[in-house]
Amino acid sequence: MASAFKFSKKTKIIAAILVVLLLLVVTAVKNINKQQNQNDFIEFIDVGQGDSALIYSNGYTALIDTGTPNSATSISKTLKGYNIDNLDVIILSHPHDDHIGSTEFVLEEFGADNIIFSDILPADDDNAAAFKNIKDTANFLGTKCHYAKEGMVINIGNFKLTVLFSDEKAEDENNMSIVLMAENDGNKFLFTGDAEQDCERKIIDQNINLDCDVLKVGHHGSRTSTSQELLNIATPRYSVISCGLDNSYGHPHDSVVKRLQSTGTTILRTDRTGNITCKIVNGKIVIE
């Protein structure tokens, strides 16, 4: 009996070691899959007349804006397509319905570890209430809330996101937009939310480096944004316009499209092509 007991104990130890080894192998394979299945990328999600962009690197994720309240399906489809079940960070550029509209859905259906707001209270009561609801949901779900500050850096795998500008004194909500640069292997993506030309002027006056490879065109291509001066400094190779097909605002405005065309930048539009993916392949941007 003593020998049987000994053998049984030994078997148990071997079995335990095998289980641990198996778990290590499974975890390793999972990590390899996470890191090798996907190139790093930024995907501009077709959310209709709004903004939402997914940033992905080595399994780390960020979502800049969450479209309108009707964008839940397209965001959900995109995140599930990459097997994303939790976001590291959600960044809300400014408190308008077409940028924060599906935030509670994303928090509840996917979850996020962190959420970053512009550091200013919305002037409009409805927008202030919408922000408060999102904060309440975030607090309830254990998502940490942060406020954007100039110079703040957020690392998402190989992407370094830097808050370039966040006007704490802005009276217009579009000009509260968090302006940030996402950089990966020397490739730079500039996000200006719905910041208007007044705000662009302030950023340029501060000599902030706006040089980029991809510009998320401000305010869905509205004539109130994307000054010639901004384009002269930003010199984007690609310009992404996120807008709804036949939207009632007439976005993108002809004057902005012409201004962009005159610089030689390649214009990409979510209303025409759906989601736009900018992959980092061998250090270069590849559009899909």
CB atoms within 10 A of CB 261: 12
Answer yes or no: are the C-beta atoms of 149 and 118 closer than 8 Å. no
Answer yes or no: are the C-beta atoms of 129 and 97 closer than 8 Å. no
The nearest distance, CB 94 to Zn ion, in angstroms, is 8
What are the start-end ranges of the H helices in the chain?
Answer: 2-36, 72-81, 97-100, 103-109, 125-141, 197-205, 228-234, 254-263, 270-273
Give the Cα separation of 77 and 75 in Å (integer): 5
Answer yes or no: are the C-beta atoms of 128 and 121 closer than 8 Å. yes
Nearest to 213 by CA among 286, 276, 158: 286
For Zn ion, the closer of residues 187 and 219 by Cβ is 219
The nearest distance, CB 225 to Zn ion, in angstroms, is 10
For Zn ion, the closer of residues 98 and 271 by Cβ is 98
For Zn ion, the closer of residues 104 and 194 by Cβ is 194
The nearest distance, CB 263 to Zn ion, in angstroms, is 22
The nearest distance, CB 260 to Zn ion, in angstroms, is 18
Q: Tell me which residue has tokens 């909500």.
A: 173
Q: Which residues contact Zn ion (rule: CB under 5 A)? A: 98, 194
The nearest distance, CB 96 to Zn ion, in angstroms, is 5
For Zn ion, the closer of residues 46 and 194 by Cβ is 194
The nearest distance, CB 279 to Zn ion, in angstroms, is 25
First to last CA, the chain: 68
| 3-class secondary-structure state, position 145 | strand
For Zn ion, the closer of residues 67 and 236 by Cβ is 67
Pairing of strands 144-147, 112-117: parallel
Which residue type, as a one-letter code, is found at position 65? D
Nearest to 120 by CA among 167, 164, 163: 167
For Zn ion, the closer of residues 40 and 200 by Cβ is 200
Which residue type, as a one-letter code, is found at position 89? V
For Zn ion, the closer of residues 93 and 184 by Cβ is 93
For Zn ion, the closer of residues 98 and 196 by Cβ is 98
Strands laid side by side in the 60-64 sheet: 144-147, 112-117, 87-91, 60-64, 53-57, 41-44, 276-281, 284-287
